[in-house]
Structure 1
Amino acid sequence: MTGGLRGRLLAAFVLVAVPPVVLLTAAVTALLARSFAQSGDERLRGAIAAAFGQMDRQLRRSAAEVTAVAVEDLPQQRPDPRALTTLAQALGRNRALPALEIVDARDRVVSSRHWLAGFGLPEQDGLFPGDDTLRVERVNEGYGEAERLALMASRPSLLNGSPVLVRGGTFVDAEFLSELSELTGVRLALRDRVRRRWIAPPSSPLAAWTEPALAGAEARGEVMLGGTAFRFSAAPRHPDLWLVAALPRGELDRLTGLVRGVAFGLAAAALVGAALAAVLLSGRIARPVRELADQSRRVASGDLAAAVDATPGDEVGELARAFNAMTAELRTSRERLLQTERVAAWREMARRLAHELKNPLFPIQLSIETLRRAWNEPGGRERFAALFRESSDTVLEELQSLRRIIEEFSEFARMPRPELRPVDVGAIVEQVLALYQARAAGVRIEKDVAPEVGTVSADRALLARAVGNLVANALEAMPDGGTLRLRAAPAEGGVVLEVADTGPGLDEEQRTRLFTPYYTTKKGGTGLGLAIVQGIVSDHAGRIEVQSAPGEGTTFSLYLPRDPAAVVSSPPVRERSA
């Protein structure tokens, strides 16, 4: 029972503590995962802002250098027309402008640092409508030409007295984006929506993104590229030119997984610690209840000396004090009951003994009075002689009956204490059946002794006598034949022996008085047989039960512990109706 109480306390702890911890851990993990995702988005937006800031700084520096070329450098130049092809190269190197060109009023290239082959040709730059700082410049590349995005500043000037336009700036190419990617720690690329191409480092996975959905003021989400999931954020430098920043989703997943593992590990450790505390607390809570249950079992087994240590100031202490008061009251009541039962038993015994003694004394009295009358009558000597033999036989017969009653009473009063030895229960059954086999004419005998019955610690002679008395009663209850059943089976801590008959059975009053000394339902019986059986069973710390009803036969059940010395006291006899 206390184990069940402790288990219920632990189960209550699990129901109360575990779900909130699990839910809280899951919520914290989800919150952290969301926070990491938001942090990743902020990191991507920060990288875009940093890239745009770097582009703006490059543009401002380029504008200042282009202004210096237009205002300071060109007006002082008087180049030979044959030296114009190298003019832009010299000026660009001096001003650290990778892209520099001089265009005349008819948009023809006068000189170019990055497109030497364009001398005298119309300018062929790609434009982004509404933003003249973004230009796709033709450049020399190997033995051919290519197009590269550049941030360009423009300033008017004079060359040899003729108006020209000076354009210069920095290329926004794979090298530029690689440097920014290393600086920000994210993958960066530019998407030219007009020309449907990417400007990205050679190893960038973003170049494999064929149709990015880029619109509005900002775009973000996730995309699968080359078998790898990326979280991206994008912002327009121009409606037709978007800067895209991306991070592999695996980095966020690994970080989230690490945090989730740590969180659940800490939660598990907390639960284990709390569970250990719950085990200790439940043990402390259940300990007085367990002690109370143990002492209750002692009381149930008949030991009314059981008591519980009462803890002051709590409900369990009040229960313990009530239990102790109850057992004290039970002890007092038992003493009163035993005293009352002793008086009642002696009165009943005296009444039965007086009745048994009165039966033979009355014929003795009549015989003596008859002899005295015959002796005192005139001429009655002859009649006295005739009556003497008959009366003396009656007196001797009744004296023999008195002697038998006294011997049975003496035997009942002097029942020997059992000498306990290991006794084979099956052998006892066989011994009793062999003894009463001759008296069982017309009675069918059924025997059922379980192999695992084994032995009990008992007095062999007394146990055989108890079983024999029950078998004798059963046979006497079936004068016209019937069935006698003997059964032996193991029970908790002992053995159960059953003797059953198919006789007329007993009513409730008979069952109640069945074990009272000198009470009998048989003609000529002394009423001591079952009282002796009860005494033997009680001396073996066992108990006897009877189950019977009129017309349904009677079954006596003897419970014998395997070790009577281990039993505190034997429970009382119980009668059960069928």
Structure 2
Amino acid sequence: MRLRRRLVTAFLLLTLLPVALLAAAVAVLLSRGLEQATEARLEGSLDAARLRLTSLATRARERLSQMVADDLPALGSGDDNDLLDEIARRRDLPALELLDGAGIVIASHHWPAGFGLPDHDGLFPGGTPYRIETVAAGYGADERLAVVAEAPGHWRGRKVLLRAGFFVDEEMLGGLSALMGLEAGLYDEIRGRWTAPARSPLGSWSRPVLGPARGEILLGEARLRWAATPLCSGLILVVAAPDGALEHALRGVRRLGLAAAALALLGTLAGALFVSGRLARPIRELAEAARQVAGGDLRVSVPVLTDDELGSLARAFNEMTAELRLSGARLVQAERVAAWREIARRLAHELKKPLFPIQLSIETLRRSLDREPPPAPADFESLFRESSDTILQELRSLRRVIESFGDLARLPRPHLGPMDLAHLAEQVLALYQPGAPKVRVETDFAARPAVTGDAELLARALGNVVANALEAMPEGGTLRVRTLVVPGGAAVEVEDTGPGLSEEQLARLFTPYHTTKPGGTGLGLVIAQGIAVDHGGRIEASSSLGHGATFRLVLPRRSGS
């Protein structure tokens, strides 16, 4: 699983960096594109608004020309204001007035109360079509920006100046703003006031500095990106786009980028899990097979599913296990032959040892009988008794060797069952302790591990170990026996304070017929080791000269499994 996690992490890291860079690049490019689009939109809106105002001035001139050519010559009788109102309605001219040569208002459609008053409308320098007109507002008057045209004419025989046009007021700018989707307004620098739609944030912009012609401004809670252009000296046309729209678009782009990145990462994760699974599964199978081989199972093999490097590795592993099986079989056969040769050599050696004294005793008796003159009966009887005692003693030794060899060859198969290892040690000590009264026994059975095994065979194996330790202390000492839990199993540890063993003696400790004690057969520990191996365990030994020896019977938790 660690390999799979590493592969998935590597895939994700390799994907995350380019995806993050791509998302950042897309966000930057889109941000720049949206900003450029906003700037282009502002510029286009400025042009459209300027064109709209120019078209109003052109329309005012055209309608004024038509009025001078068609309406003035056909004037009937009546009040001047009534006649002027009729013409204004027919020509759709919201602003229309007559002035005499002295600049006195003769009649006014948009401000009837101005009759007889001098013209005092607000002007902008430079002779532009833009004026501040006084208009009727309820019972009073108001000033409104207008786009007008002027033309001389004759009104009932008098020379007059006709002024006609359209108001650039909140309503007109509101329609223009709605059409463009932006905020539009006009700022009068001379009078310091705005002409803008009623709810436009531009109206709250106090003392604007419009020199740079582009910029951003925070008005209340609205952040605006604006552009401006002068219509004439003192009159500035301003259009503004809410920056929130751009931010909203950018947030949308970021969300879209994050969603795309998330989808890419999910796709990468799915692909990484699939690929890593394909890669890691054969490796896990190889690892599991290797653990089985380490546990001694050489029959295991792994399937070869591909022709790539993993397939080659699987084939090599199968070839290795096949070679190990063959080598193991050869080794087992060779070890068996070597073991039987060693046993035969040891057995021949042990059988030869008593044969020589027997042969020597018999030859001594033969020489005594063949001697001339024959020995005295009393002397021969003494010699016979001495020789027969030697023969009987060596025959008993020979019988003991044969019985020990029979015990080694007749070890039964263990009958496994649950057992308490500490209880087994207590039983063995109760059997062997009375035979060594000089030895002090110390026990520690705090750990009482449960194992499965053959209680009779394990008692025999532990008895051989305890007997070996007691025999190493003929003059007395201390025997320490304890049970403990070891990795993967349990153990009984037997420690003595005897003379200890050299490294050479330790190396040959479990060799059949090797003994360091007079009268020993050299098979006790060999039998104990065989019983432990039959239970899936082992006997460990450690010692140094002069410091005693420690033997440990180690058994798995489920012996023989």
What is the TM-score normalised by the length of structure 1?
0.88
Show structure 2 runs of 5+ residues with no match.
none
CA distance in 2, matches of 1:477, 1:165: 146
Q: Give the structure 2 partner of residue 182 of structure 1.
A: 178
Over 3 Å counting, the alpha-carbon distance change for 1:308 and 1:88 in structure 2 is same
> Distance between the aligned counterparts of 1:501 and 1:30, measured in 2?
82
2:93 counterpart residue number: 97
Task: Please name the residue that 1:570 is paired with.
Answer: none
Paired residue type of 1:296? A
Aligned to 2:62: 64
**Equivalent residue for 2:526?**
531
Q: Which residue is equivalent to 1:164?
A: 160
Q: What are the equivalent positions in structure 2 for 1:29-428 lying under 5 Å apart?
A: 29-77=27-75, 83-216=79-212, 218-221=213-216, 223-238=217-232, 240-311=234-305, 313-377=307-371, 378-380=373-375, 381-428=377-424
Please state whether the residue corresponding to 2:72 is helix, strand or coil: helix
Contact 1:89–1:113 (CA under 8 A) maintained in structure 2: yes
Cα-Cα RMSD: 2.7
The 1:45–1:524 alpha-carbon spacing in structure 2 relative to 1, beyond 3 Å, is farther
Q: Secondary structure at the match of 1:6?
A: helix
Letter of the 1:390 counterpart = E
Tell me if the contact between 1:6 and 1:282 (Cα under 8 Å) persists in the aligned partners: yes
| CA distance in structure 2 between the aligned counterparts of 1:501 and 1:249, rounded to whole angstroms | 92
Say if 2:439 is the partner of 1:445.
Answer: no
CA distance in structure 2 between the partners assigned to 1:72 and 1:209 by the alignment: 45
Contact 2:101 2:161 in 1 (8 A): yes
After TM superposition, give the deviation of residue 548 of structure 1 in Å: 4.2
Structure 1: unaligned runs, 5 residues or longer: 567-578
SS at match of 1:132: coil
CA distance in 1, matches of 2:419, 2:157: 141
CA shift, 1:449, in A, is: 4.3
| In 1, Cα distance between equivalents of 2:384 and 2:422 | 56
Question: Is 1:475–1:484's contact at 8 Å kept on the other side of the alignment?
Answer: no
User: Secondary structure of 1:488's partner?
Assistant: strand
Shift in Å at residue 157 of structure 1?
2.5
**In 2, Cα distance between equivalents of 1:186 and 1:552:** 102
Match of 1:472 in 2: 467
Question: 1:189, 1:206 within 8 Å by CA — same for their partners in 2?
Answer: yes
CA distance in 1, matches of 2:531, 2:106: 137
Match of 2:12 in 1: 14
Label 1:382 to 1:34 Cα distance change in 2 as closer, same or farther (>3 A): same
Alpha-carbon shift at residue 507 of structure 1 (Å): 4.0
CA contact (8 A) 1:86 1:111 kept: no
Q: Which shows bigger deviation, 193-202 or 104-113?
A: 104-113
Q: Percent identity?
A: 50
Structure 1 range deviating more: 407-416 or 25-34: 25-34
TM-score, reference length from structure 2: 0.90
> Following the alignment from structure 1 to structure 2, what is the Cα–Cα distance between the partners of residues 274 and 440?
78
Q: CA deviation at 1:554?
A: 4.0
Could you tell me how far 1:444 is from its partner in structure 2? 5.5
**AA at the equivalent of 2:112:** L
State the distance in 2 between where 1:9 and 1:402 align: 70
Are the counterparts in 1 of residues 439 and 470 from structure 2 also a CA contact under 8 Å? no
CA distance in 2, matches of 1:38, 1:262: 20
Q: How many residues align?
A: 557
Question: Closer, same or farther in 2 for the Cα pair 1:283/1:497, shift >3 Å?
Answer: farther
Amino acid paired to 2:117: L
Deviation at 1:20, TM superposition (A): 2.3
Equivalent residue letter for 2:314: A
Counterparts of 1:318 and 1:161, CA distance in 2 = 116
The offset of 1:371, in angstroms, is 2.0
Determine helix, strand or coil for the equivalent of 1:234: strand
1:123 Cα shift? 1.5
Q: For 1:116 and 1:284, how far apart are their aligned partners in 2?
A: 93
1:547-566 to structure 2, matched below 5 A, reads 547-550=542-545, 553-564=548-559, 566=561
The change in CA–CA distance for 1:344 and 1:93 in structure 2 (over 3 A counts) is same
CA distance in 2 between partners of 1:49 and 1:441 (Å): 121
Moved more, 331-340 or 91-100: 331-340
Whether the aligned pair in 1 keeps the contact of 2:130 and 2:146 (CA below 8 Å) is: yes
Instruction: Please give the secondary structure, in 2, of the residue aligned with 1:136.
Output: strand
Q: Deviations over 1:28-68 (max 9, x none)?
A: 34443444444444444443333223222222111101122
Query: Displacement of 1:418 after TM fit?
Result: 0.2
Tell me the SS of whatever aligns to 1:416.
coil
Q: Rate the CA distance shift 1:8–1:559 in 2: closer, same or farther, 3 A.
A: farther
C-alpha separation between the residues in 2 aligned to 1:232 and 1:501? 100
Q: Which moved more, 1:547-556 or 1:44-53?
A: 547-556
C-alpha distance after superposition, 1:354-412 (max 9, x if no partner): 22222222222222222222223323133111222222222212111111111011001
> What is the match of residue 491 of structure 1?
487
The code of the aligned residue for 1:534 comes to Q
Mapped to 1, the partners of 2:428 and 2:55 lie a distance apart of 119
Deviation, structure 1 residue 177:
1.2
Q: Are the aligned partners of 2:12 and 2:265 in contact in 1 as well (CA < 8 Å)?
A: no
Give the whole-Å Cα distance in 1 for the aligned partners of 2:458 and 2:499: 26
Per-residue CA deviations over 1:466-501 (Å, capped at 9, x if unaligned) read 223233333444555246252320533x33444444
Moved more, 114-123 or 305-314: 305-314
The alpha-carbon distance between structure 1 residues 45 and 371, as it changes in their structure 2 partners (threshold 3 A), is same
Letter in 2 for 1:344: A
Alpha-carbon distance between aligned partners in 2 of 1:543 and 1:309, rounded to the nearest angstrom: 34
Q: Rate the CA distance shift 1:173–1:286 in 2: closer, same or farther, 3 A.
A: same
